[in-house]
Amino acid sequence: MEKAKKLEITDEITKLMDSSEALYLTDFSGMTVEEVNSLRTDFYKAGIKYKVVKNTLALRAIKKSQIYAKFEDKLQNSLKGPTGIVFAGDDPVSPAKIIKKFFDKSQKPKLKVAILESEIYNSGQLNELSLLLSKNDLIARIMSSLDSPVSGIIGSINAVVRDLSSVIEEVAKKKAA
């Protein structure tokens, strides 16, 4: 491969890394073309980028990355053998859910390492990652919990008003009788 092409690929990978909320390194060895295409399709539908690059180019990109350069030493050991890089979009958890779904079916691809929110997760923590809530789910739960007390107060006020109107109606009936 020409030096200019290598530099172009490294720059592309670096840009993808720096615009990614999370980074996943996978071992896709043993996967059929059909399985890889199906995985790519699921990633695409979720707005996730997936690239297979040479480990040396991935390491160069990590070194150049503004976000992931500090993890160079820890990621270097994971850049051996066939490596696919998953660049999470806005939701850093959705790649884990997709990888887990595929792994449960065929024990492939294997997670080598993942970085989310400046934390490193190893291959044994795929289950943990896949169980995390997405940012949108967390926001929805927080909003729901904030809304609950307000709904309760409004319901209580409505009940008091309803009871008061019933009492007034009963008093009016007794006075009329």
Joined tokens for residue 120: 């490193």
- Convert the pLDDT of each residue in 81-139 to its tens digit: 999 999 997 888 889 899 988 888 888 889 999 998 888 888 887 777 776 766 776 67
Q: For residue 9, what is the domain's CATH number? A: 3.30.70.1730
Give pLDDT, residue 13.
95
Answer yes or no: do 115 and 46 share one domain: yes
Give pLDDT, residue 107.
86
| Nearest by Cα to 114 from 48, 13, 52, 26 | 26
Give pLDDT, residue 167.
65
DSSP states of 17-85:
HHT-SEEEEEE-TT--HHHHHHHHHHHHHTT-EEEE--HHHHHHHHHH-TTTGGGHHHHHTT-SSS-EE
Q: Going edge to edge, which strands form the sheet with 110-116?
A: 49-52, 84-87, 22-27, 110-116, 119-122
Cα gap 71→120, rounded to integer Å: 9
Give pLDDT, residue 145.
67
- Convert the pLDDT of each residue in 19-53 to its tens digit: 998 999 999 889 989 999 999 999 999 899 999 99
pTM of the model: 0.74
**Of 40 and 154, more confident:** 40
Give pLDDT, residue 40.
93
Mean pLDDT of the chain: 84
Domain span at residue 165 reads 133-177
Please tell me the total number of residues recorded for the chain in this structure: 177
Give pLDDT, residue 147.
61
Answer yes or no: do 137 and 88 share one domain: no
Answer yes or no: do 121 and 174 share one domain: no
Answer yes or no: do 146 and 85 share one domain: no
